[in-house]
Amino acid sequence: MPSSEIQHWPILLSSFTVIGLTYGLASCVGVFYIEWFAEFPESAALVGGLSVSVLVLLLCSSPFASALAKFYGVRTVVAAGACLSFAGLLCSSLAHEVYVLFITIPFMAGIGFGLSHMGVLIIISEYFHKHYAMANGIATTGASVGMIVLPTLCVFLIKLYGWRGALKVLSAVQANVLVCAGLLKAPVDRRDKRKLVGDGQNRNSTGSYGSTKLSHRGRNGEYVYSQLLKNEGSSKDVSHTMNESQSDCETVQDVENMLEKSAQGGKWCQRFAHLLDRSGLSLLWTNRVFMSFLPAVFTNTSIYGVSLAYIAARAESVGVPNLQATSLISTIGIANIASRLTHGHLVDAGLVQPAYLYAIFVALATIAGPIIAMIESYPGFLVCAVLVGLSAGVYVPMQNTLTRQIAGQEKFPEASGIGLVVSASGDLLSALMAGYLHDVTSSYSGGFIMMGVVSGLCVALTLMLHLIWTRLIPDDRWPRV
């Protein structure tokens, strides 16, 4: 990294910590699956959906978080997310019905995680440009560290205090995000730009309409005065003219009322168009490369959606001890670190096509899925967990890197938010489908077979898109060396 970017290491360290306490914690909520399933005798699909719901809402709230960050700043959004997730985890520890958990876990803790997580992703893209892939890889390694440390911590806390006590301790840990938020100061140029945009909107919303009223009044005054001068010789004519001028004034007042209503309607249309632009939805019809990339994003989500929610349960179902089964999630985190820290240099140096790197590492999970469905030994599960970790350690941060190149820095927050919503939809759908397959077959194997098939489709889509946008229909927005 150049020296100008190295001096921003406090931003990188804070982002690393925030991602570890948000995405890392959301990824290991599956540890509570066995405890919730034992206390609330619901279907596996329902409880499995609860386990993955935190990660889903974290991703779904990303567009909302990016819009808030543009108006109120990253620091405020990250701090608000910390307070909301703290309250959600604390309230969850007091729940005695499963429907209460469906409110506090996803809609409080999950959305709070999303606000903080998206905030740090935005600020990384604002501070690091030349070596963005490397900085993004280092910061998102926090998720891997969280996946290593937090599952073991959760198991220890559950055994010591029960799952309710564990959530209380985790809520206190989550409050540390507030400390990190204090270090996340936006760049000077970004703060100035946000201020200018706000001032411009205020001028547009008040000044233009006021000038319209004044111009109409001015023209009407000149018209009435000229009529009076022409008819000043006759008092009758003057009286008649005054009556006409009064009628004209009433007409002008009606016109002004119509203009006011029209201006209000135009303001709402303007706000709606501004909302579409701020949310990034306009990218769906203005950027064909970004739109074509979303199906690849959707199909890779089965990797995390199935493995994080069910790999521990799958191992326990064939006789693997609880502690060893839980350690599989930590193993995924360890492998994550290795691939996250190394892939950024390959991308920044242009040593490999980004699409090829993305597809190759997704293929590792494609291979691991069917193997997990068939094996029954702990060493086999361990190897497959390593493959899943290596895969996720590249395709998760690479999604941000590819999105930034496709949409550009100015539209990156909105584009990243849409991509994360698509990821959330895939995570939830794949977790529910895997849970449904367990309910039907009484085995977790079907879910992992589905994971292999769907992630294999992602590999095929990515390679096909690279062929289309580099050879058949060349488009400079598609990332390439």
SS3 353: coil
- The two structure tokens encoding residue 93: 């520890």
Q: For residues 202-208, give the mean pLDDT.
A: 43
Find which of 45-49, 87-91, 309-313, 426-430 is predicted with most confidence, using mean pLDDT.
87-91
pLDDT of residue 211: 38
User: Between 276 and 369, where is the model more confident?
Assistant: 369
Model confidence at 225, in pLDDT bands (50, 70, 90)?
very low
User: Between 328 and 244, where is the model more confident?
Assistant: 328
3-186+287-472, which class in CATH? mainly alpha
Determine what percent of the chain is predicted with pLDDT higher than 70: 78
Q: How far apart are CA 256 and CA 249, in angstroms?
A: 10
Residue 302 has pLDDT above 80, yes or no: yes
For helices 354-374 and 302-317, give the axis angle rounded to 10 degrees.
20
Residue 336, CA distances (Å) to 51, 121, 208, 312, 315 in order: 21, 18, 54, 17, 20
Contact (Cβ atoms closer than 8 angstroms) between residue 294 and residue 423: no
Residue type, 121: L
CA 65, distance to chain mean position in Å, is 7
CA atoms within 13 A on the CB side of 365: 37
Model confidence at 1, in pLDDT bands (50, 70, 90)?
low
User: Between 230 and 49, where is the model more confident?
Assistant: 49
pLDDT of residue 214: 39
- The two structure tokens encoding residue 323: 């502690």
Contact (Cβ atoms closer than 8 angstroms) between residue 41 and residue 137: no
pLDDT of residue 176: 92
Q: Is 224 exposed, middle or buried (0-12, 13-18, 19+ CB in 10 A)?
A: middle
User: Between 341 and 254, where is the model more confident?
Assistant: 341
Q: How far apart are CA 461 and CA 465, in angstroms?
A: 6
Greatest pairwise CA separation for the chain in angstroms: 112
User: What residue segments make up the domains of the chain, in order of their start?
Assistant: 3-186+287-472, 206-274
Contact (Cβ atoms closer than 8 angstroms) between residue 367 and residue 478: no
Q: What is the pLDDT of residues 18-27, one digit of tens each?
A: 999 998 888 7
Task: For 231, list phi and psi in degrees, rounded to 5.
Answer: -110, 20
Q: What is the mean pLDDT of the chain?
A: 80
Residue 199 has pLDDT above 80, yes or no: no
Q: How many CB atoms neighbour CB 232 within 10 A?
A: 11
Find which of 66-75, 140-149, 169-178 is predicted with most confidence, using mean pLDDT.
169-178
Residue 208 has pLDDT above 80, yes or no: no
Residue 371 has pLDDT above 60, yes or no: yes
Q: What is the pLDDT of residues 418-464, one digit of tens each?
A: 888 888 888 878 888 988 898 888 888 999 999 999 999 999 999 99
Q: How far apart are CA 194 and CA 72, in angstroms?
A: 9
For 404-468, give the DSSP string.
HHHH-TTTHHHHHHHHHHHHHHHHHHHHHHHHHHHHHHS-SHHHHHHHHHHHHHHHHHHHHHHHI
Q: Where are the beta strands (DSSP E) in 241-331?
A: none
3-state helix, strand, coil in the chain (%, to 5): 85, 0, 15
Model confidence at 228, in pLDDT bands (50, 70, 90)?
very low
Residue 219 has pLDDT above 50, yes or no: no
User: Between 381 and 341, where is the model more confident?
Assistant: 381
User: Between 247 and 440, where is the model more confident?
Assistant: 440
Residue 387 has pLDDT above 70, yes or no: yes
Q: What is the pLDDT of residues 71-118, one digit of tens each?
A: 888 999 999 999 999 999 999 998 888 888 888 988 999 999 999 999
Task: For 287, list phi and psi in degrees, rounded to 5.
Answer: -130, 95
Q: For residues 194-200, give the mean pLDDT.
A: 50
> pTM, whole model, 2 decimals?
0.67
Q: How far apart are CA 339 and CA 391, in angstroms?
A: 8
Q: Which of 316, 431, 450 shows the shortest CA–CA distance to 381?
A: 316
pLDDT of residue 146: 84
Residue 475 has pLDDT above 60, yes or no: yes
| Dihedral of alpha carbons 353, 356, 362, 365, sign | negative
Q: How far apart are CA 324 and CA 322, in angstroms?
A: 6
Question: Which stretch of 5-14, 39-48, 191-200, 370-379 has the lowest confidence by average pLDDT?
Answer: 191-200
Residue 217 has pLDDT above 50, yes or no: no
Contact (Cβ atoms closer than 8 angstroms) between residue 169 and residue 92: no
Q: How far apart are CA 480 and CA 354, in angstroms?
A: 6
User: Between 86 and 137, where is the model more confident?
Assistant: 86
| Nearest 10 degrees: Cα torsion 390, 392, 393, 398 | 130
For helices 302-317 and 378-407, give the axis angle rounded to 10 degrees.
170
Q: How far apart are the first and last CA of the chain?
A: 19
- The two structure tokens encoding residue 273: 């168009």
User: Between 119 and 4, where is the model more confident?
Assistant: 119
pLDDT of residue 451: 94
SS3 267: helix
Residue 215 has pLDDT above 50, yes or no: no
